[in-house]
Amino acid sequence: MAITVRAATDEDAIDMAAVIVRSWQVAYRNIIPDEFLDGLSIEKRAERMLRDSKEYKGTSFYFVAENEGKVIGSLLLSACRDEDKAEAKAGEIIAMYLFRECWDKGFGRCMMDYSIAFFERMGCREIVLWVLEENHRARRFYEKSGFGFDGTRQVLELGKPLPAIRYVRELSARSG
């Protein structure tokens, strides 16, 4: 199985939203309340993505991961949004999701490699991402990818207050 990561188009919005919503409903079960997860809407997520992609054009970049011509993953990369990283030349992985049936097949690793290369080409010195503290599966993946908890925390309201922690990975000194 081969994976291709490419820039998303407006026509990909529903497929990307389906990946995100279905991934959330599996990955965050028993972390985020069921009522919140069951209330997620693919259509509303797609509308939000289309709106955000226009509003943040040039600072946020949407990608899809495809296998055999079918969208299986969604990736959103951006300049880091954290105020304390404003001068750090940092990129941020805002979202990286795959359909559940695509987990543990190396697709996530390909998406991460793509993200790292993207930020290196942009001349970033580090990559930041936020992960729910209880999401141990994702945390293991990020740690295997060279990320580490930098001590920064925030609380997200996702049906209930949930602690999120910031992971950071230093990049090579080369710039794009």
Checking if the pLDDT of 176 tops 70, the result is no
Q: Which residues contact 76 (CB under 8 A, 6 or more apart)?
A: 60, 61, 62, 63, 93, 94, 95, 96
90 pLDDT band (50/70/90 cuts)?
Answer: very high
Average pLDDT over every residue of 86-113: 94
Of 155, 154, 84, 159, which is closest to residue 126 (Cα–Cα)?
Answer: 84
Q: Report percent pLDDT > 70 for the chain.
A: 97
Q: Which CATH superfamily is 4-170 part of?
A: Gcn5-related N-acetyltransferase (GNAT) (3.40.630.30)
Q: How many CB atoms lie within 10 A of CB 86?
A: 11
Residue boundaries of the structural domains of the chain: 4-170
- The CA distance from 107 to 7, in Å, is 16
Structure-block tokens of residue 67:
């296998």
Q: Which residues contact 112 (CB under 8 A, 6 or more apart)?
A: 96, 141, 145
pLDDT (0 to 100) of residue 173 = 57
pLDDT (0 to 100) of residue 134 = 97
pLDDT (0 to 100) of residue 1 = 61
pLDDT (0 to 100) of residue 55 = 84
Regarding predicted confidence, which is higher, 56 or 22?
22
Q: Which residues contact 38 (CB under 8 A, 6 or more apart)?
A: 25
Q: First CA to last CA across the chain, in angstroms? A: 30
pLDDT digits (tens, 9 = 90+) for 104-143: 999 999 999 999 999 999 999 999 999 999 999 999 999 9
